[in-house]
Amino acid sequence: MYQLNLDIAHFLEHYWQKRPLLIKGGFTDFQDPISPDELAGLAMEEVIESRLVTRFNNKWEASHGPFESYDHLGEENWTVLVQACNHWAPEVHELAVPFQFIPGWRFDDVMVSFSTPHGGVGPHIDNYDVFITQGQGKRHWRVGDAKPLGEFAAHAALLHCEPFEAIIDAIMEPGDILYIPPGFPHEGYAIEPSLNFSVGFRAPDAKALISSFADHLIDNDLRTERYGDPDLQPRARHGEIQPHELHRLRELMQQALDDETLFKEWFGTMISEAKHDLDVSPMEPDYSAEEVADLLSQGEPAIKVPGLRSVWFSGESRTCYIDGEAWTLPSEDPAAIALLCDKDMVTQADMVELADQAGFLQLLTRLINRGYWFFGD
């Protein structure tokens, strides 16, 4: 288990979404949860999203995996990156646990990169929060202030920004952590063969949210109120849109957003849906609730699949949202909802506080049979 050396309250007040921070020795005696060879192997898998970024003769290139070989790349100037590595390597998932003081619905994934000397992805600006932990090796990082900068395509799959003046200019060593909020330009280049672990937190913008909400209405064929104007008066100017009409149109859209049940249903399914494939293996044959209860009573913990997104709404303790789907308990039970969404592991001892153990076991069994939870290593 990784222990984060950080005053969390001070960090949230002074740095979170405000300014970058270099945390020297953020993890003491840091050990890489995955090796470069293991990472390279994941990048060869069809279902895992990966990229290869190179810069030879000052020319940037980027390509998407899977990759068959790295032998042609040489010893310098390239980086391989694996997205959502926490979905496929439980040890990498453990690296995200110390950052669970941030709401789970904001968490995106753990991206892992391996860079040879001088390897990097170039100067760029991200639109999400990220904690970058230095694994093996050393890497030179520069971070600039959040000021308007021009962006351009250094390659069709690689967006870079203009040069910037650094407010952080440091060499990171194993266990060091660099926090970068959205909008701050940054670049990092390996000094020696290096692993980096980026724990990212999504930050959706209004455009993406509105588009997703509209898609939810369409996909579920949900009825909304239609515009009406029974008080219409004769119009002298045929092409004019009057202020009261614009106001009524805005109200019409707002009414859909103000439907709390609809809004929660949309947001719960949207935010819990995995952006990347999960390592899910449905049970064959299915477990029964009795078999699940027996395994728990024998000391076997039920373990959540790494990367599975599970959320619930404050004040509601019967329905939760898991991987883009609503799941409902037989009865209201705050302790059961918390176990399913807040915890990565359930033991027999955890079930003591449950109001309806049988109902919880039924739902947990369904999740296990779906492949979202499992027993064993």
- Edge to edge, what strands does the sheet with 186-190 contain? 166-172, 139-144, 186-190
**DSSP 8-state code for residue 18:** T
How remote is the C-alpha of 336 from its chain's centroid? Answer: 24
Q: How far apart are CA 181 and CA 236, in angstroms?
A: 53
> How buried is residue 310: exposed, middle or buried, by Cβ count under 10 Å (0-12/13-18/19+)?
buried
Residue type, 68: E
pLDDT bin (cut points 50, 70, 90) of residue 224 is: confident
* pLDDT at position 139: 98
pLDDT, mean of residues 128-146: 98
pLDDT of 316 higher than 90: no
Q: How far apart are CA 274 and CA 287, in angstroms?
A: 25
pLDDT bin (cut points 50, 70, 90) of residue 105 is: very high
pLDDT of 211 higher than 70: yes
Residue of 264, 247, 251, 244 whose CA lies nearest to 225: 251
Put simply, whether the predicted model's pTM sits higher than 0.75 gets the answer yes
pLDDT of 370 higher than 90: yes
Residues listed for the chain = 377
Structure tokens at 202: 């999504």
Q: How far apart are CA 290 and CA 276, in angstroms?
A: 33
For the chain, what is the radius of gyration of the CA atoms?
A: 24
Question: Model confidence over 106-118: pLDDT tens digits?
Answer: 999 999 999 999 9
pLDDT of 170 higher than 70: yes
**Are the C-beta atoms of 375 and 306 separated by less than 8 Å?**
no
Q: SS3 of 143, please?
A: strand
The pLDDT mean for the chain works out to 95
Enclosing H/E stretch for 198:
strand 194-201
pLDDT, mean of residues 209-220: 94
Q: Within 13 A of 10's CA, how many CA atoms are on the CB side?
A: 5
Question: Model confidence over 38-89: pLDDT tens digits?
Answer: 999 999 999 999 999 999 999 999 999 999 999 999 999 999 999 999 999 9
> The tokens 């369409």 sit on which residue?
218
pLDDT bin (cut points 50, 70, 90) of residue 203 is: confident
Q: Which residues of 221-248 are buried (b: 16+ CB within 10 A; e: fewer)?
A: eeeeeeeeeeeeeeeeeeeeeeeeeeee
* pLDDT at position 249: 94
Strands 373-375 and 302-304 come out as: antiparallel
Q: How far apart are CA 226 and CA 309, in angstroms?
A: 35
How remote is the C-alpha of 182 from its chain's centroid? Answer: 14
Its sign, for the CA torsion 272, 273, 277, 281, is positive
* pLDDT at position 377: 61
pLDDT of 178 higher than 90: yes
Structure tokens at 367: 């999740």
Residue of 24, 328, 333 whose CA lies nearest to 175: 24
**DSSP 8-state code for residue 101:** T
Could you give the residue ranges of the DSSP H alpha helices within the chain?
8-14, 36-42, 90-93, 206-219, 243-258, 260-272, 289-297, 334-342, 357-370
Q: How far apart are CA 24 and CA 194, in angstroms?
A: 17
Q: Taking every pair of C-alpha atoms in the chain, what is the biggest distance, in angstroms?
A: 81
Q: How far apart are CA 188 and CA 207, in angstroms?
A: 30
pLDDT, mean of residues 352-356: 89
pLDDT bin (cut points 50, 70, 90) of residue 154 is: very high
Q: How far apart are CA 8 and CA 5, in angstroms?
A: 9
pLDDT of 165 higher than 70: yes
Q: How far apart are CA 45 and CA 312, in angstroms?
A: 33
pLDDT, mean of residues 99-126: 97
